[in-house]
Amino acid sequence: MDNTIDYSKTGCDIRPMSQEESSSQPCKSNPFSNFTACLYEKENAPYISPTPGEFPIIAYNPFPAKENTKVELVDEVMECGFNVGVLFNEKKVMGDALRVSAQRGFKMIIAVPTQNLGNNLNYAEYCEAFFNEWKRFVSNEKYDSVTDKVYDLLFRKSPALGCWSIQDEPIYNFLSSLGANYESLRSLDTAHMFYTNLLGSTLEAQYCGSELQNKPYIRYLELIQETMRPPVWSYDLYPMRKYYKNNAWVWGIMFKEFYEALEAASRMAMLTHRPFWAFCQSAEYITLYSSTTKDDLDEICQEGKCKFMCPPATLEYLRYEAFSALAYGAQGICYWTYWLTPGLETEIHPSALVDNNGVKSESWYYARQVNGEIKALTDVFLGCTLMRVRHTGNDANINSVTCPLTTAEPMWPLESASSSGSGLLVSHLSNKGRDYLVIVSHDPLNSQTVSLKFRNHWTVRTVNPIAEVKKFTKSDDGTRTVYSGTLPAGGYIVFEWS
């Protein structure tokens, strides 16, 4: 089939099609049609929020990878606005983190330690050992060591346990074992969900398989649905990229992949009645083509080894990533990473929200600001339903994977939206009988002059606007109310109407 995403002939409604509609309305240009109905006949694993009644704001690596987590570290993470942490480490380190987190009501997402399964196993043997270890750990079967048994019991019964993370960014060859073991593993602890975070694109065959490489992202999510019917759709994709060209770093923002993943994840969330979580990139990192022994980044780049870099997080980047996802109905925002993690053979990690000495970076304060804004809008986003999402602007990469806002199909009560730059994301969310319009800038680097025209037979008001939006002017010509002003880079504005 044609894998080009072109919604101009499809109506673009984000509402999931029924099985009858999907079979009677085939459209070669629409990757969301012709889905296999049987994938959705059986209910997915239940979504069990790690933070009931609160919006999950999740920090990967909230504490250093060492024992005796201090309660002050938990307080600092919570001060930054996080209420959940994800930790992959040895049993004692994670056990200490659970014990201390429970004192503060901070929730943890953890994984069974599988670092020492053996180096002499082939991949099939490794997968078998991996899931046997998980089942033994979760089911509280006795270990040889009393210490291990103590921590085993602590993990499952700790009030700080939010859920289990089976695997982060599973490779394609792991999926068959995941599918074969998921239900039996989940049956061992029905009080907590078992989730897997996915890679957010089909650019790498290692994760999606060669047949799906560079195909629409929805196809990869369908494969995951066929494999395990997950309780939550979680993926990471970091669009803020720079590439080293002619002795300088130049922007190469992944607009197409960013919005395609949001479209696909929100669609799968609706088809399966399970929410999705998205990520903010809070760590600076540089990916290399090959390993190096050099420390000087300029030298490494001049040798041609720098593949791309994701720069340190700014207020604009974090707002752009978080509120674009929220406008699509995301029910969790994850940050990678809070505490600086060691680099890899082909990856350099210069900075994160907190460095190896526990010193807060400038990005820490930006994250706190954005997290505070998310919490202030909990009534808008937590438990919301995405009714429709549209886009304005002339960016070909964005328009190739999204639906346009047109005068023929306005977003009530919005009659039109215009901007001086690359355009806007416009979404309609419904929550507990209230209707909200969420508008997010397409541009994380530059501000835009924006004009929004509303029909006067609707009552429209802004909701908890950020400082820059409070400066918008409001005018009325008798039939329309016009809000105009400058939307900052990565900025957003939320309206409620009745």
Residues 492 and 437 in one domain: yes
Which of these, 358, 323, 316, lies nearest to 340 by C-alpha position?
Answer: 358
Do 96 and 236 lie in one domain? The reply is yes
Give the end of a domain, one of 354, 381, 408: 381
Classify 390 in phi/psi space as left (phi over 0), alpha (psi -120 to 50) or beta.
Answer: beta
Residue 33 lies in a domain: no
Q: Are 467 and 375 in a shared domain?
A: no
**What is the SS3 assignment for 426?**
strand
Q: Are residues 283 and 153 in the same domain?
A: yes
In a domain, 77, yes or no: yes
Tell which residue, 360, 357, 356, 363, has the closest CA to residue 284.
Answer: 363
Same domain, 350 and 431: no
At residue 19, the pLDDT reads: 41
Band the pLDDT of 117: cuts 50, 70, 90: confident
> What CATH number does the domain containing 369 carry?
3.20.20.80
- Encode burial over 389-400: b for 16+ CB neighbours within 10 A, e otherwise: bbbbbebebbbe
Which residue shows structure tokens 């929730």? 107
In a domain, 26, yes or no: no
Domain assignment present for residue 37? The answer is no
Q: What are phi and psi of 131, to 5 degrees?
A: -75, -30
pTM (2 decimals)?
0.92
Do 227 and 353 belong together in one domain?
yes
Provide the pLDDT confidence category of residue 17 given band limits of 50, 70 and 90.
very low
Say if 454 falls within a structural domain.
yes
- 135: in domain: yes
pLDDT of residue 10: 32
Residue 80 CA, chain-centre distance (Å), reads 18
Instruction: Identify whether residues 360 and 229 lie together within a single domain.
Output: yes
Residues 6+ apart with CB under 8 A from 442: 255, 391, 393, 395, 398, 421, 422, 423, 424, 425
Q: How confident is the model at residue 11 (pLDDT cuts 50, 70, 90)?
A: very low
**Which residues in 470-489 are b (16+ Cβ under 10 Å) and which e?**
eebeeeeeeeebbbebebbb
The pair of structure tokens assigned to 348 is: 């350099």
Query: What are the helix (H) ranges across 328-442?
Result: 362-376, 378-381, 396-399
CB proximity list for 171: less than 8 A, separation 6 or greater: 206, 207
Same-domain status, 368 and 448: no
Averaged pLDDT, 437-441: 97
**Nearest CA to 325 among 392, 250, 377?**
377
> Using one digit for the tens of pLDDT, what is the confidence trace for 257-308?
999 999 999 999 999 999 999 999 999 999 999 998 888 888 999 889 999 9
Of 414, 409, 407, 408, nearest to 435 by C-alpha is 414
Q: Is 464 left (phi over 0), alpha (psi -120 to 50) or beta?
A: left
At residue 369, φ and ψ (nearest 5 deg) are -60, -50
Angle at 154 between CA 149 and CA 159, to 5 degrees: 165
Give yes or no: residues 93 and 242 share one domain.
yes
473-476 vs 233-236, strand pairing mode: unpaired
Domain assignment present for 477: yes
Give CA–CA dist 308/105, Å, rounded.
Answer: 39
User: For the sheet containing 242-245, what is the strand order?
Assistant: 248-251, 242-245, 306-310, 284-288, 347-351
Domain identity same for 251 and 205:
yes
Same domain, 389 and 285: no
Residue 460's domain is classified under what CATH number? 2.60.40.1180
- Among the three residues 381, 396, 425, which one is the final residue of a domain in this structure? 381
Domain of 73, in residue numbers: 57-381
Question: Per DSSP, which regions of 374-477 are E strands?
Answer: 385-391, 414-419, 424-431, 434-441, 448-455, 460-462, 473-476
**Residue that finishes a domain, picked among 334, 353, 381:** 381
Helix (H) or strand (E) holding 350: strand 347-351
Instruction: Write the pLDDT tens digit of every residue in 325-377.
Output: 999 999 999 999 999 998 888 999 999 999 999 999 999 999 999 999 999 99
How many domains does the chain fold into?
Answer: 2
pLDDT greater than 80 at residue 2: no
Q: What pLDDT digit, counting tens, does each position of 216-259 carry?
A: 999 999 999 999 999 999 999 999 999 999 889 999 999 999 99
pLDDT tens column, 482-493:
999 999 999 999
| pLDDT band at residue 15 using 50, 70 and 90 as cut-offs | very low
Residue 75 and residue 78: Cα distance in Å, rounded?
Answer: 5
Q: What is the mean pLDDT of residues 379-393?
A: 97
